[in-house]
């Protein structure tokens, strides 16, 4: 039974609740969004796993910057986390589900395997995404799917270049020209 079923958050939930605003502020100051914060006990230490994300993705150097920012913030707030801790900061992995509009925007022009709420599954190339849904190129046809209709979606790893015709249908040339300005 979870601690919430017993009428209130347990010690780990309380610590996470206290740490989240500190970590979130540090991550935002570094120019990213806090995707996930996980706090676990490992002997006498705590392990803090922080996952960061941004619209443009996160490279290794940026993960290091975010890690320094979070470590400085935590060290300055010993009242919240007085014990020894291990900090692990990473970005979303390729195998992370696409659950937010920014995930879809970040994977534009890549393939995604999508399972809908009704059980239907397909692989489509990701097009434009907004706050309500995403445009996908499926079998040569454009298809608009709302996020509420998606049960699960993952990026598909590709080993070859996408067809130029597929990219053209998704307006890839327009986006590339705009980004180069």
Report the pLDDT value the prediction gives residue 83, as an integer from 0 to 100: 83
More confident residue, 131 or 15: 131
Report the pLDDT value the prediction gives residue 106, as an integer from 0 to 100: 85
Report the pLDDT value the prediction gives residue 169, as an integer from 0 to 100: 87
Q: Given a cut of 50, is residue 104 above it in pLDDT?
A: yes
Q: Which CATH number fits domain 101-180: 3.30.70.141, 3.90.380.10, 2.40.30.160, 2.30.30.100?
A: 2.30.30.100
User: Same topology for domains 3-91 and 101-180, yes or no?
Assistant: no
Query: Phi-psi region for residue 114, left (φ > 0), alpha (ψ -120 to 50) or beta?
Result: beta
Report the pLDDT value the prediction gives residue 7, as an integer from 0 to 100: 37
Indicate the domain borders of the chain: 3-91, 101-180
pLDDT band at 3 (very low <50, low <70, confident <90, very high): very low
Q: Kindly report, residue by residue over 76-87, the tens digit of the pLDDT.
A: 988 888 888 999
Q: Which class would CATH give 3-91?
A: alpha beta
Q: Write the CB contacts of 140 (distance below 8 Å, at least 6 apart in sequence).
A: 166, 169
Report the pLDDT value the prediction gives residue 12, as an integer from 0 to 100: 52
For the segment 145-174, the average pLDDT, to the nearest whole number, is: 88
Q: Kindly report, residue by residue over 53-74, the tens digit of the pLDDT.
A: 887 778 888 899 999 999 999 9
pTM here?
Answer: 0.65
pLDDT band at 93 (very low <50, low <70, confident <90, very high): confident
What 3-state class would DSSP assign to 172?
Answer: helix
For the segment 118-141, the average pLDDT, to the nearest whole number, is: 95
Q: Kindly report, residue by residue over 110-128, the tens digit of the pLDDT.
A: 999 999 999 999 999 999 9
d(CA 38, CA 78): 18
For the segment 127-149, the average pLDDT, to the nearest whole number, is: 95
Which stretches of the chain are DSSP H helices? 11-29, 60-76, 101-106, 164-169, 172-180
Report the pLDDT value the prediction gives residue 1, as an integer from 0 to 100: 28
Report the pLDDT value the prediction gives residue 173, as an integer from 0 to 100: 66
Query: What's 55-96 look like in SS3?
Result: CCCCCHHHHHHHHHHHHHHHHHCCCCCCCCEEEEEEECCCCC
What 3-state class would DSSP assign to 103?
Answer: helix
């Amino acid at each position: 039974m979870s601690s919430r079923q017993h009428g209130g958050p347990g010690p780990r939930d309380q610590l996470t609740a206290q740490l989240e605003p500190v970590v979130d502020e540090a991550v935002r100051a570094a120019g990213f969004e806090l995707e996930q914060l996980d706090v676990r006990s490992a002997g006498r230490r705590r392990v803090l796993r922080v996952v960061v994300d941004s619209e443009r993705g996160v490279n290794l150097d940026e993960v290091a910057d975010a890690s320094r920012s979070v470590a400085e913030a935590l060290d300055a707030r010993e009242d919240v986390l007085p014990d020894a801790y291990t900090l692990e900061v990473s970005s979303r992995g390729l195998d992370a589900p696409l659950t937010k509009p920014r995930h879809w925007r970040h994977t534009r022009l890549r393939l995604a395997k999508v399972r809908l709420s009704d059980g239907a599954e397909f692989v489509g190339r990701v097009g434009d995404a907004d706050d309500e849904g995403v445009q996908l190129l499926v079998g040569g046809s454009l298809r608009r799917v709302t996020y509420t209709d998606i049960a699960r979606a993952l990026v598909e790893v590709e080993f070859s270049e996408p067809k130029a015709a597929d990219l053209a249908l998704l307006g890839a040339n327009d986006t590339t020209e705009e980004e180069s300005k």
